[in-house]
Structure 1
Amino acid sequence: MGTADETGMQRPLWADEPVGRRRMPDPVRTAAVRAVIVTAVTMIQAMVAFFCTLTGSWLAFPMLLSSVGSTVVTTWAVLDVWVTRQVWNQRNGVVSVPSSTARQLRRERRRARRTARVAAREAARIRRRGAGRLSQA
């Protein structure tokens, strides 16, 4: 399932590397794909309008009008990607950086609560066992 190198040992055809960035959320990716498709169609319409103008075809003016309309739609689609991304980040939270100050403060508070719980549990256990009595009677 691989190729043999000079030593005769099999080496894999490819090595999986960890992904550098996280995958885009589904709504953002959908909007981005839609924007790319609309942009491609707009560019094709503009080229057809240009070539129709060069050849003097009657189709040049309708294609020019549709290209202008498609440009408006393309701008809208690109803005939709940006807005969808902002809404996603606002609703689902931005991925926090591990060195975030807020995360560090939460960690410290959690640690303090944990030590307070352990101390309270220990004090309750000592009280239950009757510590502090000098005799068993």
Structure 2
Amino acid sequence: MMGTAERHRESGSGAVDGAAAAREIAPQGAAARRPVPRRPAPQGRVAVERESVEHEMAEQRPPLWVEEPARRRRLPDPVRTAAVRAVIIVALTLVQAMVAFLSALAGSWLSFPMVLSSVASTVVATWGVLDVWVTRQVWNQRYGVVSMPSSTARRLRRERRRARRQARAAARGKDRIQGRSGPGQLSHP
């Protein structure tokens, strides 16, 4: 059987891979665990050719990942905590229900206590899911619903504010004219 070193010699390349030759020669057992010395990096024309080939291959390869902007905003911390808690509780409840079902099929004494605890766990899981919803509503109410600047509510509020400001300015202007010069007189004395 021909080893790697012999194949390189017969192919005429003359360059023998040091690690491959060391693997061929190394005996099995305790001596095989010794670290294999690494060969030095090629220099000169071979190194330049290798770098250009690696560069071309890297250009042909698609990127490992493409960064995309998030579609939705991240959940607030209290809501995310409640959601994680609810997922864990629901997962444990499902496992418990499955154990109760399988032990009932097997006719085990464990089936009755597992069914009772599954009912209790279902109540707790329902509370956990409702807790996520309530926490989200409370957070939205406390810190405000995110609204876009072009929303209808903001536009209507802005128009009402502008109308009130204009009405106040008109009333002030009318009071100034009447208060300074008396009724019916428009010019200064």
TM value normalised by structure 2 = 0.51
Equivalence for 1:57: 108
Pairs aligned (count): 110
Q: How does 1:1-137 map to 2 (within 5 A)?
A: 8=59, 11-104=62-155, 106=158
In the TM superposition, what whole-angstrom CA distance separates every residue of 1:38-65 from its partner, at most 9, and x where no partner exists? Answer: 0000000000001101111100000000
> How far apart are 1:5 and its partner, in Å?
7.6
Identity across aligned pairs (percent)? 68
**Amino acid of the residue matched to residue 99 of structure 1?**
S
RMSD value over aligned CA atoms? Answer: 2.9
In structure 2, the CA distance between the partners of 1:33 and 1:8, relative to structure 1 (3 Å rule), is closer
In the TM superposition, what whole-angstrom CA distance separates every residue of 1:3-61 from its partner, at most 9, and x where no partner exists? Answer: 97889456532111111100100000000000000000000000000110111110000
CA contact (8 A) 1:4 1:11 kept: no
TM value normalised by structure 1 = 0.69
Structure 2 alignment gaps of length 5 or more = 1-53, 166-189
Runs of 4+ off more than 6 Å: 3-7
Higher RCO (C-alpha under 8 Å, 6+ residues apart): 1
More strand by percentage: 1
3-state SS of 1:12 partner:
coil
Structure 1 alignment gaps of length 5 or more = 113-137
Matches of 1:10 and 1:62, distance apart in 2 = 58
